[in-house]
Amino acid sequence: MAKKPFKIKIPINPSDIQHGQVLPFIVKNIPFIRRRWHHRVDADHQLLEPRVSEIFFKKIVKEIKEKDITYQNIWRINEIYYPYIFIDVYSTKGKKLFILTINLRNYNFIPPQVGLLTPDGKLIKKLKKSAIVSDDQGIIHIIAHINGVWVCTPGIYKYHDFYFDVDRWEKVRDDLSTNIIELINRIIGMIDRTKENIVEIAQ
């Protein structure tokens, strides 16, 4: 017998709906709603006219080139070509630890997509647990995922895709917290650079 399609019933109390809100985005006091079945996109879906995203890309590259000298003992630019930026990240002993990739194909309509590569360019699928630094609340923000690791922090594509309805990229894309230098340093701060070998699984 064929299974019946799963239907979700959301009891909606008008007082729980915020002014101007588009349902079914945020419904307060509902512990479980399958609201994350939205249309997922990634940089393979080229949403933004390249001439537009290239303008933003050039702005980002200019900022990185101006400021990378300050962080040269921590990270340095490896390679840049539209829409990618590759950042070499170094251990505290000066050994190349990994490469941070930033894809700005649909920026700033969509947040940057990031990935981690081994120093020889293989996709890192999982980091060693001992290499991941938790925040002051004991939360870790780098999680193993199907296609490389997932960096779960505001300003990164996968975060805003997952928290699509509560943390909208459009609201924070001009904030200091999502500035490219901030993002680079924040991601690097999630990894223990005193370790020389941080990779558990690479492709």
Partner 1 sequence: MSDNEKKIEVTFVIQGKEFTIEVNINQSVKAGVHKTLIQAGQSGSHIGWELRTENGELINMDSSWKDQNITSPTKLFLSKGAGRGGTSNGKKTIQDQNTY
| 8 Å CB contact between 169 and 193 | no
| 8 Å CB contact between 98 and 91 | no
Phi and psi of 25, rounded to 5°? -70, -80
Peptide bond into 31 cis (omega under 30): no
- Interacting residues toward partner 1 by CB under 8 A: 26, 31-33, 36, 63, 66-68, 70-71, 73-74, 92, 133-141, 143, 152-154, 159, 162-163, 166-167, 176-177, 179, 181-182, 185-186, 188-194
Least distance between partner 1 and beta carbon 77 (Å): 13
Least distance between partner 1 and beta carbon 180 (Å): 9
Looking at the Cβ atoms of 122 and 195, the one nearer to partner 1 is 195
Burial (CB count within 10 angstroms: exposed 0-12, middle 13-18, buried 19+), residue 93: exposed
Looking at the Cβ atoms of 105 and 186, the one nearer to partner 1 is 186
Looking at the Cβ atoms of 48 and 157, the one nearer to partner 1 is 157
Least distance between partner 1 and beta carbon 139 (Å): 4
| 8 Å CB contact between 74 and 89 | yes
